[in-house]
Amino acid sequence: MKTIDELLAQGVSGKRVFVRADLNVPLDGTTITDDGRIRAVVPTVKALAAAGARVVVASHLGRPKGAPDPAFSLAPAAARLGELLGADVAFATDTVGDSAQTVVAGLADGRVAVLENLRFNAGETSKDDAERGAFADLLATLADVYVGDGFGAVHRKHASVFDLPARLPHYAGYLIATEVGVLKKLTEDVRRPYVVALGGSKVSDKIGVIDNLLDKADRILIGGGMVFTFLAAKGHEVGTSLLQEDQKQKCLEYLAEAERRGVEFVLPVDILVSDGFPDLKAKAPTHPETVAADAMPAGKLGLDIGPDTRKLYAAKLADAGTVFWNGPMGVFEHPDYAEGTRAVAQALLDAPGFTVVGGGDSAAAVRTLGFDENAFGHISTGGGASLEYLEGKTLPGLAALED
């Protein structure tokens, strides 16, 4: 794929450059609680603006139902982007209507505008090619060139991600180029031992990546809510913990296949349990109990890996040449259940090899728990996109940038 450096070499002064970013940030009302995705697109936007482009930034936020919804407005993200750029950013109150047309037409060279949430239009996410294409046609009227830099959305076959690049000269932004380079290190140029740490709530969310990584990883460490389906599959009590009954057989198959291939498939040896789910806003102490993973009380809820498991996982990561981590080890949003996730994050920092935090909740946990983001090899902006790449899937947004 052609990169933004090739575009800049050709000259962009006076050209309208459409940047498909990922500004899908978490909001508490209108307050951004994690601006990592906005910061990630700044290098691309800044380089284009400095070269005299008229930069039109577009993104989705949340899951509105194809119609305007003030709760999902990109206005806070536009304001934050302006702060990070140190320049005024114009904001269009629609995506292809009168406001967008007026704002884009009024852009001077080197200035930036943000369009309202792309998903306020049903055509953005439509499964109908014609409807999606019609929306892409309207977006194309706002630009001369397309730059894809919203890595968190490249696994979606959406109008602004897949259809629009076909209608304009297209290039990969700095973020996408970096993300793809990192993922190639995880699939084509792996330093060993290669350790994968997977957390999160459901086994079903990780089936594809486990299937693919059983052929590549040396060790796979399991945490988060998905642990309990593995434990139940082995015949252990899991109390009231999250359980996917329909995935138990798949878990047994993974364990058998890992043994056949000589891959270490490591499950927790102890669990932090409580009587119920904690209040994540009040964060009042819950006095968790540590129990053996194979001896959970029937009435208890598992919420984090235990202290012995933290030590075990740190040891399994200590000599890693490559690490990919996706998914927290527990309910890290509450201090009583954050130590498992904290231990894995610290173990990545201590590991001698190349470490990748695979976006989503893992990236949020790194920031929430106060770690220095720059100390990791890479923190991805796209959890779902990273996982699908590692599953070996073709990502529509990357395919659209290929020539």
Catalytic site residue from 173, 223, 384, 397: 384
Q: Are 126 and 159 in contact (CB under 8 A)?
A: yes
Q: Give the span between the Cα atoms of 119 and 312, in whole angstroms.
A: 44
Q: Is 384 a catalytic residue?
A: yes
The β-bridge partners of 32 are 27
If you write DSSP's letter for every residue of 150-165 in order, what string do you get? -GGGTTS--IIIIIGG
308 — phi, psi (to 5°)? Answer: -70, -35
Angle between helix axes 174-187 and 36-50 (nearest 10 degrees) is 120
Q: How many CB atoms neighbour CB 173 within 10 A? A: 28
Q: Give the span between the Cα atoms of 168 and 147, in whole angstroms.
A: 9
Catalytic site residue from 302, 330, 360, 397: 360
DSSP E strand stretches across 264-380? 264-266, 270-274, 289-292, 301-305, 322-326, 354-357, 378-379
Catalytic site residue from 15, 37, 248, 300: 37
Q: Give the span between the Cα atoms of 208 and 338, in whole angstroms.
A: 27
Q: Is 360 a catalytic residue?
A: yes
Q: Is 111 a catalytic residue?
A: no
Catalytic site residue from 2, 202, 216, 393: 202
Q: Is 235 a catalytic residue?
A: no
- Which amino acids are annotated catalytic? 37, 202, 360, 384
